[in-house]
């Protein structure tokens, strides 16, 4: 996330330099985040990823480091 924010700021600074300091034009030239279209898919993927991480912790807890971690890494 930190790298992504840095790259957006760098791109905005480049557009600001290219457009001679016009803030509105520089902001409009950046690509859209598409939050209205992607909030549901992004939220579901985050929830599924979190569920998978939780289940991997449970598997390592009950099966041990040798079997549980190997099983998780083999998926």
User: What's the pTM?
Assistant: 0.60
CA distance 59 to 73: 11
Q: State pLDDT tens for residues 14-69.
A: 999 999 989 999 999 888 888 889 999 999 999 999 999 999 999 999 999 999 89
Between the alpha carbon of residue 63 and those of residues 49, 54, 72, the distances in Å are: 21, 14, 11
Q: Which residues of 31-59 are buried (b: 16+ CB within 10 A; e: fewer)?
A: eeeeeeeeeeeeeeeeeeeeeeeeebeee
């Amino acid at each position: 996330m930190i790298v992504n924010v840095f790259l957006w700021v760098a791109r905005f600074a480049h557009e600001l330099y290219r457009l001679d300091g016009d803030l509105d034009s520089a902001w409009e030239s950046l690509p859209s985040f598409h939050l209205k279209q992607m909030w549901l898919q992004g939220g579901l993927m985050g929830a599924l990823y979190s569920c998978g991480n939780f289940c991997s912790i449970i598997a390592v807890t009950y099966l041990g480091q040798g079997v549980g971690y190997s099983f998780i890494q083999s998926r």
